[in-house]
Structure 1
């Protein structure tokens, strides 16, 4: 039978960080993650729009412009959203996710109603998850604890 390891009777210390990367790595990730995610999103949107047809210059341009727009909005959201209260923070992430999914479905020649419905379902799910996350990671005054 296993038993817990003994420890001293002093208070349990909190506040130790589990951060594995340096500040420089975090600053680089704030640019690299949106750019790489934007490139994947732009390729996906261009592939949906192409619909197994030939790759054209307009299709490549569309993919890069979509990637640029996605990355810029993603970076703006990463910079702006943490300064807001948890409700608006979750709402921004939900809107971003719902719009992104709706746009991808639209590029695959989905009907406007289907794109809207799927975007709203995704936005509702993301709002629920993000609100729960932010609600459980704030103290009573609204300051983040993580």
Structure 2
């Protein structure tokens, strides 16, 4: 019986992972989502009156937070299983929608219920899409 010996590569027996470069879409998509989300949060808080510094600050902070979270999720999404990835998409969407609803001066239960409903919907759709693509 003939067997083949495993020949070590140039760098030794273990493989080195190369970091993935940031593509233009990896930067642009979270940035655009953050800008739109920040403008919408400031618009909801404005309530027809003149813009104030607090509303602008709220829009900047909420948009930056969403952009950072989207970018972080985009960077780690290939390292986690599809179930965890779907839960992460659902949780991010649920928290974002719940926060926007809470800006309309409604009850906490309404904002939590609407965020949870949208988050469960996104979880189901993203799980189906990820499952259909990977199998």
| TM-score, normalization by structure 2 | 0.80
> Superposition pairs for residues 1-146 of structure 1, below 5 Å?
27-139=23-135
Structure 2 unaligned blocks of 5 or more = 1-20
Q: Aligned-pair distance for 1:82?
A: 2.2
The Cα RMSD (Å) is 1.4
Q: Distance in 1 between matches of 2:39 and 2:79?
A: 31
Q: Distance in 1 between matches of 2:76 and 2:103?
A: 28
Q: Distance in 1 between matches of 2:68 and 2:81?
A: 22
Q: Distance in 1 between matches of 2:32 and 2:128?
A: 27
Residue deviations 1:71-117, cap 9 Å, x none? 00010011112211111000000000111111000011121000010
Q: Which segments of structure 1 move beyond 3 Å, counting only runs of 4 or more?
A: none
Structure 1 unaligned blocks of 5 or more = 1-23, 140-146
Paired residues in the alignment total: 115
Q: Distance in 2 between matches of 1:50 and 1:68?
A: 19
Q: Aligned-pair distance for 1:53?
A: 1.8
| TM-score, normalization by structure 1 | 0.74
| 1:14 aligned partner | none
Q: Distance in 2 between matches of 1:100 and 1:50?
A: 18
| 2:16 aligned partner | none
